[in-house]
Amino acid sequence: MADVNRGNRPLSPHLSIYRPQLTSITSILTRITGNALLLGTILVIWWLLAAATSPAYFDMVNGFVTSWFGKLILLGSIWALWYHSLAGLRHLIWDNAIGLDVPTAEKLGWGVIIGSLLLSVITVVVL
């Protein structure tokens, strides 16, 4: 019958078994940065709404955005935005079955990490 050994089969090794690798870390960071960008998005939309509403409301929201906490969210969002963009570019490359071998995938991973940090520094310095 069908269910003789259900629930008692060997499982493939998962997170608790594997040593963290550059490819797995950069992959989960893509998901984390993409979803965490919601925070920065809410902040920017709140700021836009305040600017469209009244000078008094704008001063209040702008005060929060330019406070140390607001700046921390913006700084984190800038890095997350660049990281997620470069990681997305990497996925668009991978979709063509290019760069999937381990040495190239690891090089692309370092490219995403270093590139996102460089772009964040440039963004903060220039803007």
Partner 1 sequence: MRYLTDRKRATGLGSAKTGTAHFWAMKVSSAALLVLVPLFVCTLGRVIGESHQDVIAHFARPGPALIVALTLIVGLEHFKSGAQVLIEDYVHGTAQKIWIIAVICMSYALMATGLFAIAKMAL
Q: Does 27 bind partner 1 (CB under 8 A)?
A: no
Alpha helices in 1-127 (DSSP H): 22-53, 55-65, 68-94, 102-126
* Nearest CB to partner 1, comparing residues 102 and 122: 122
* 100 SS3 class: coil
Q: For the window 56-75, what string marks contact with partner 1 as x by the rule CB under 8 A?
A: --xx--x--xx-------x-
Contacts of 22 (CB under 8 A, 6+ apart): 106, 109, 110
CA-CA distance, 88 to 111, in Å (whole number)? 12
Indicate the burial class of 18 (C-beta count within 10 angstroms; 0-12, 13-18, 19 or more). exposed
Of 8-16, 17-25, 55-63, 104-112, which part binds partner 1 (CB under 8 A)?
A: 55-63
Q: Does 127 bind partner 1 (CB under 8 A)?
A: yes
Applying CB under 8 A, among 25, 51, 98, 100 the residue interacting with partner 1 is 51
CA-CA distance, 86 to 113, in Å (whole number)? 9
Applying CB under 8 A, among 49, 60, 72, 100 the residue interacting with partner 1 is 49
Q: How far is CA 90 from its chain centroid?
A: 13
Q: Does 113 bind partner 1 (CB under 8 A)?
A: no
Binding residues (CB under 8 A) for partner 1: these are 1-4, 6, 31, 34-35, 37-38, 41-42, 44-45, 47-49, 51-52, 55, 58-59, 62, 65-66, 74, 78, 81, 85, 88-89, 91-92, 95, 123, 126-127
